[in-house]
A and B are shown apart, each in its own frame.
Chain A
Amino acid sequence: MWSYLSKRILLSVMIVFLAILALFITLHSIPGDPVSIALGPRATPEIQAEYAARMHLDKPLYHQFAIFIGNVARGDLGKDLFSNRSVLLILSEQLPFTIILAITAIGWSALIGIPLGCLSAVKPNSIVDRITGILSVGTIAIPSFLVSIWAILIFSVGLKWLPVIGAGEPGDIGDQIYHLILPAFAVGLGWVGYLARMVRASMLEVMSENYIRSAHAFGLKRRTIIFRYALKVAILPTITLIGVGFGALLSGTVFAEIIFSRPGIGKIIYNMVLARNFPVIQGAVLITIGMYVVVTLISDLLVSLLDPRVRDTL
């Protein structure tokens, strides 16, 4: 078990390393002066000089890369062009908001989607199943940013129930939750359908397996069969897919942050793109890669915890 864990972590570190390498190569492949590419046209000569010195641009490429990696490892992602604050600091202020939104969205959609999918599978072609089916396809199809906009239209402008802008007063949990409702709803809605369908398909496939028939033949209780035998296996591909679909979720989160003017990684990137504040953008891309790697790592580990067959393959 531990050997699997360590191998998996090693693999993740390698992926991050490769991603940073790719980023580095991209930056240095674009024709032009590396300094102005990295810093953009708005950088002042002083900032440019400091960057050149810090990155030892006179040294050979692999040395530069080593310095780059070293900086990233130490947490030095450069400095914001205008405020000169550390990029890492800026991003770490914004990150929690994004994480909270993402987790809340996954949380509520899983709480509704997974049981719905399970119920549909256990009673196929019933009313529940048919309605769930149509709703699932419907919610998957509608773009999440559109949901955000229309949700604002209905609940904020029309009914005036919920706020539009911001994340709420810092320190006031209630207010923050109040501000969280609409964005989390918008981001998570598509996932309800996605998860429900995934779980349904997976459960149906598992329920037709021979070992489920054996369990019936041994007289096990229906509840035991559904939850211990079927769901345990059926949930595995769903967990993997959450890991894979996380990128899409982040996209939705970014849109939500922009539309609702919430603080977060997405909002920051958007603002910085308009301002052409390159160091922050680069740092944000790196953080995003990091998040994706962590999430897939967690989902893979969860799967291996539940499925003994996986442990033997790596």
Chain B
Amino acid sequence: MQTLLDIKNLNVDFRTPLGRVHALRDINLKITKGKIVGIVGESGSGKSTIIWAITQLLAKNGIIESGTAEFENVDLLQADETTMMSIRGEKISMVFQDPMTSQSPVHTYEQQMNDIMYRKSNLSAGEKKQKAIDMMARVGIPDPESRIKQYPHQFSGGMRQRAGIAMSMLMEPSLLIADEPTTALDVTMEAQIIHLIRKLQKETETTIVVVSHNLGLIAELCDEVIIMYAGEILEAGNVEDIYYNSGHPYTKALLECDPAREIENTRKLPVIPGDIPDLHIKPKGCVFASRCNFSVEHCHSKKPTNQRVSSNTHMAKCHLLDPVFSQSTAQLKPRVQQVPQVTGQRFINKNEKHFLEVSNINVQFPLMGKVKATFKRVSNRFVDAVVDASLTIERGETLGLVGESGSGKTTLGRAILGLVDTKSGSAKFEGVNLCTLQQRDFKPLRREMAMMFQDPVGSLSPRQTVKSLLIEPFKIHNIDKNLEEEAKRLCDTVRLPENFLSRYPHELSGGQARRVGVARALALNPKLIIADEPTAGLDVSVQGEILNLMNELQDEHGIAYLIISHNLPVVRHISDKLAIMYLGRLVEIGNSTDIFNNPAHPYTEALVNGIPQPDPRKRRKLLSIEGEIPSLTNRPTGCEFHNRCKYAQPKCKVDIPKVKFLPGGRQVLCHFPLNV
């Protein structure tokens, strides 16, 4: 078992206007040849910094204070630029997070791959081209001979990532580093890429390092795992040890927080309270001590050393594992936050008329103007974003609207609030049809409905203070109240300190901005809040905070929520009902626990099975779904899912299915629903 990369005592600082940030401290790790190693960390952990440091591609304000990184008899941190250039792309190669921006937009793939192969002077141009074509075929890009002449913007997202992997494997590197390779992709595409990486690794025996915050991804792919937190390595071991027998309190807590780990629905999500420490100051004791439930006096003052957990390959940096202490780790129960496990639904009055009743909403967007369309002889210049969508929400209920990109979920949310015009259909709010209302009549209703937006800072007007943002709803609706008090009250409701009232949006962190968004939505005591991707961009250990807050407010005020998200594992825990969308249609609606355990629509099944489980014993052997989401301008015939459906039959290609009502309040849009 050879060591391919040996990093010792790596310390990296960043120069900022406010002083030095100690981003990496005393990093020691070994990458074994032929293995897939995962580096797990949340934001600020420094996991990406390690990669940039060893390839000497740190940002200009980054300084490598000390350390060695031995790779094939070269110290990567000391090597000169010529040596590094020969190593990069050839011996060490990378796959990047965002395929949209990581590939040159003005060169064809053929040109880019040719450039990468410039070192292979012994190959002719034709041979290089053939090599490129072969690689494209290997990563699963159909028709590679012609597609290689295309530009990145002509590829879809998943295809671009495959092409990115092809480019990185071209020179047959010994070490491949994948930086958040699936973060920017849909769930179904994620599964395919995971499958592809595993396949390639088996064929080429390349050593792979995967950097990610996604515990499920790591569990699916990796043989060995390294856990990082705030610039230090807290634990390292093989994947089974980490997931089943973790030693460090942080690891345990992190695993607890992953919503995909919970089988039963919990309304309250676990959270690690607090925040990472300020890295301008080197922490004296254990870096996790301030947030650790089991910390003792010793933890804050003295730095922990690497302790053996279960074997010599499984180490963690924690005082509590030190034999000097009498407590043993087996007794440490991971109590992340004292929250009662609340399962199942709450009492929702089903006898009332539906609170929000959406019927057959259709939303269209024009692709081009009328003039251009006649010019180009295009018969249908519209794209259907939402087709025949119908759903209901009861008072005080939470509905999770789930879908991947292009599903139309955000559009539907905006259509209900009247922010987007509907072509047909109705959305009845307490009996009043919102779609046919004039702007004037809509205005008073806006007090009853509010929206929380996806981009926490972008949804706040940059030149208004928090206070003026919070009181704006009152001003718009001319409500006569003591605005000062209202602003303070709202701050308290979302647990935001009052001195934040004078701040501007750019002075807030993402989480604080989100709270302001919640507060503003709550200002007029609405009965319905539509939340667009409330957990987007949040670390796993803290996404529960905002959701728990929303839950508490629901218990106090009886607010109904429509939560729009692509993150099924999180949403299903806090929703009473789920609605799944695909290509603008609602393909399944029903109780969230039932849907999750017993999906009726093949797409739902694929989504549920597509989530990488943070459990190495639950690795999927087969792909749950192939292919890509079709473009909205090129819809498949019949049932629009038929070309990706495992259970498709001839009828599915021809007939558009009608809604079937199943027992238990379930609705499915399928000719042959499952499990019924």
Is there a direct interface between A and B, measured as CB atoms under 8 Å apart in the complex? yes
**Which A residues fall within an 8 A CB radius of B?**
209-211, 213-221, 224, 228-229, 232-233, 306-309, 312
Given contacts A219-B87, A308-B151, contact A214 B106 (CB under 8 A): no
Stretch at the interface among B95-103, B409-417, B537-545: B95-103
Within the complex, the shortest CB–CB distance from B377 to chain A, in Å, comes to 13
Within the complex, the shortest CB–CB distance from A64 to chain B, in Å, comes to 28
Q: Beta-carbon contacts of B73-90 to A below 8 Å, as 1s and 0s?
A: 000000000001111111
Given contacts A217-B57, A219-B89, 9 further A-B contacts (CB under 8 A): A211-B103, A216-B57, A217-B96, A218-B167, A219-B85, A219-B86, A220-B115, A224-B115, A308-B105
- Cα A234 to Cα B415 with chains together (Å): 40
Q: Which of B88, B101, B106 sits near A219, CB closer than 8 Å?
A: B88
Are A309 and B87 closer than 8 Å at their CB atoms? no
Are A211 and B88 closer than 8 Å at their CB atoms? no
B104 within 8 A of A: yes
Within the complex, the shortest CB–CB distance from A239 to chain B, in Å, comes to 13
Among A211, A213, A220, the most chain B Cβ lie within 10 Å of the Cβ of A211
Contacts of B104 in A (CB 8 A): 211, 214-215, 229, 233
- Cα A218 to Cα B102 with chains together (Å): 11
Given contacts A224-B118, A308-B151, contact A216 B88 (CB under 8 A): yes
Q: Tell me the residues in window 103-124 of chain B with beta carbons closer than 8 Å to chain A beta carbons.
A: 103-107, 115-116, 118-119
Q: Which of B101, B115, B116 sits near A209, CB closer than 8 Å?
A: B101
Within the complex, the shortest CB–CB distance from A220 to chain B, in Å, comes to 6
- Cα A224 to Cα B85 with chains together (Å): 12
Q: Beta-carbon contacts of B618-644 to A below 8 Å, as 1s and 0s?
A: 000000000000000000000000000
- Cα A228 to Cα B104 with chains together (Å): 10
- Cα A85 to Cα B112 with chains together (Å): 59
Are A214 and B85 closer than 8 Å at their CB atoms? no
Are B86 and A233 closer than 8 Å at their CB atoms? no
Contacts of B55 in A (CB 8 A): 217
B94 within 8 A of A: yes
Within the complex, the shortest CB–CB distance from B381 to chain A, in Å, comes to 16
Contacts of B103 in A (CB 8 A): 211, 214
- B86 and chain A: residue at smallest CB distance: A219
Q: Pick 30 A–B contacts, CB within 8 A, sort by A.
A: A210-B96, A210-B101, A211-B101, A211-B105, A214-B96, A215-B104, A216-B88, A217-B55, A217-B88, A217-B89, A217-B96, A218-B88, A218-B93, A218-B116, A218-B167, A218-B168, A219-B85, A219-B86, A219-B88, A219-B119, A220-B85, A220-B89, A221-B118, A224-B118, A228-B115, A233-B106, A308-B105, A308-B153, A309-B151, A309-B153
The 3 closest A-B pairs by CB, nearest first: A219-B88, A219-B89, A218-B89
- Cα A168 to Cα B229 with chains together (Å): 76
Contacts of A228 in B (CB 8 A): 107, 115
Contacts of B168 in A (CB 8 A): 218
Chain A binding site: helix, strand, loop or mixed by DSSP? helix
Are A232 and B57 closer than 8 Å at their CB atoms? no
- Cα A65 to Cα B537 with chains together (Å): 62
Contacts of A224 in B (CB 8 A): 115, 118
Number of interface residues of B (CB under 8 A): 28
- A211 and chain B: residue at smallest CB distance: B104
- A229 and chain B: residue at smallest CB distance: B104
Q: Tell me the residues in window 324-354 of chain B with beta carbons closer than 8 Å to chain A beta carbons.
A: none
- Cα A228 to Cα B111 with chains together (Å): 10
- A7 and chain B: residue at smallest CB distance: B375
Are B116 and A220 closer than 8 Å at their CB atoms? yes
Are B102 and A211 closer than 8 Å at their CB atoms? yes
Contacts of B98 in A (CB 8 A): 210
Contacts of B153 in A (CB 8 A): 308-309, 312
- A124 and chain B: residue at smallest CB distance: B60
Within the complex, the shortest CB–CB distance from A208 to chain B, in Å, comes to 10
Within the complex, the shortest CB–CB distance from A206 to chain B, in Å, comes to 10
Contacts of B116 in A (CB 8 A): 218-220
- A210 and chain B: residue at smallest CB distance: B101
Contacts of A209 in B (CB 8 A): 101
- Cα A211 to Cα B96 with chains together (Å): 10
- Cα A41 to Cα B486 with chains together (Å): 75
Contacts of B118 in A (CB 8 A): 220-221, 224
- B81 and chain A: residue at smallest CB distance: A222
- Cα A306 to Cα B107 with chains together (Å): 9
- Cα A29 to Cα B78 with chains together (Å): 77
Q: Beta-carbon contacts of B397-421 to A below 8 Å, as 1s and 0s?
A: 0000000000000000000000000
Q: Tell me the residues in window 159-185 of chain B with beta carbons closer than 8 Å to chain A beta carbons.
A: 167-168
Are A232 and B89 closer than 8 Å at their CB atoms? no
Among A209, A217, A221, A308, the most chain B Cβ lie within 10 Å of the Cβ of A217
Are B57 and A213 closer than 8 Å at their CB atoms? yes
Are B88 and A229 closer than 8 Å at their CB atoms? no
- Cα A221 to Cα B90 with chains together (Å): 13
Within the complex, the shortest CB–CB distance from A10 to chain B, in Å, comes to 10
- Cα A131 to Cα B18 with chains together (Å): 29
- Cα A68 to Cα B534 with chains together (Å): 64
Q: Which of A210, A308, A312 sits near B106, CB closer than 8 Å?
A: A308
Q: Tell me the residues in window 39-98 of chain B with beta carbons closer than 8 Å to chain A beta carbons.
A: 55, 57, 84-90, 93-94, 96, 98
- Cα A214 to Cα B161 with chains together (Å): 13
- A306 and chain B: residue at smallest CB distance: B106
Within the complex, the shortest CB–CB distance from B423 to chain A, in Å, comes to 26
Given contacts A219-B85, A220-B116, A309-B153, contact A214 B94 (CB under 8 A): yes
Contacts of B151 in A (CB 8 A): 308-309
- A311 and chain B: residue at smallest CB distance: B151
Contacts of A221 in B (CB 8 A): 85, 118
Are A214 and B102 closer than 8 Å at their CB atoms? yes
- A224 and chain B: residue at smallest CB distance: B115
Contacts of B87 in A (CB 8 A): 219
Contacts of B88 in A (CB 8 A): 216-219
- Cα A265 to Cα B106 with chains together (Å): 39
Are A309 and B101 closer than 8 Å at their CB atoms? no
Within the complex, the shortest CB–CB distance from B84 to chain A, in Å, comes to 8
- A212 and chain B: residue at smallest CB distance: B104
Q: Beta-carbon contacts of B468-494 to A below 8 Å, as 1s and 0s?
A: 000000000000000000000000000
Among B86, B96, B102, B167, the most chain A Cβ lie within 10 Å of the Cβ of B102
Q: Tell me the residues in window 197-252 of chain B with beta carbons closer than 8 Å to chain A beta carbons.
A: none
Q: Which of A216, A218, A309 sits near B105, CB closer than 8 Å?
A: A309
Among B85, B104, B107, the most chain A Cβ lie within 10 Å of the Cβ of B104
Are B106 and A307 closer than 8 Å at their CB atoms? yes
Contacts of B57 in A (CB 8 A): 213, 216-217
- Cα A224 to Cα B102 with chains together (Å): 17
Among A209, A218, A221, the most chain B Cβ lie within 10 Å of the Cβ of A218
- Cα A210 to Cα B184 with chains together (Å): 14
Q: Which of B85, B101, B106 sits near A232, CB closer than 8 Å?
A: B106
- Cα A309 to Cα B151 with chains together (Å): 8
Contacts of A220 in B (CB 8 A): 85, 89, 115-116, 118
Within the complex, the shortest CB–CB distance from A236 to chain B, in Å, comes to 8
Contacts of A307 in B (CB 8 A): 105-106
- Cα A312 to Cα B152 with chains together (Å): 13
- A213 and chain B: residue at smallest CB distance: B57
Contacts of A306 in B (CB 8 A): 106
Contacts of B94 in A (CB 8 A): 214, 217-218
- B51 and chain A: residue at smallest CB distance: A217
- B164 and chain A: residue at smallest CB distance: A214
- Cα A210 to Cα B94 with chains together (Å): 13
- Cα A312 to Cα B153 with chains together (Å): 10
- Cα A46 to Cα B645 with chains together (Å): 86
- Cα A3 to Cα B151 with chains together (Å): 19
- Cα A211 to Cα B167 with chains together (Å): 13
Contacts of A214 in B (CB 8 A): 94, 96, 102-104
- Cα A207 to Cα B574 with chains together (Å): 44
- A233 and chain B: residue at smallest CB distance: B106
Contacts of A217 in B (CB 8 A): 55, 57, 88-89, 93-94, 96
Contacts of B167 in A (CB 8 A): 218
- Cα A215 to Cα B101 with chains together (Å): 12
- Cα A214 to Cα B104 with chains together (Å): 9
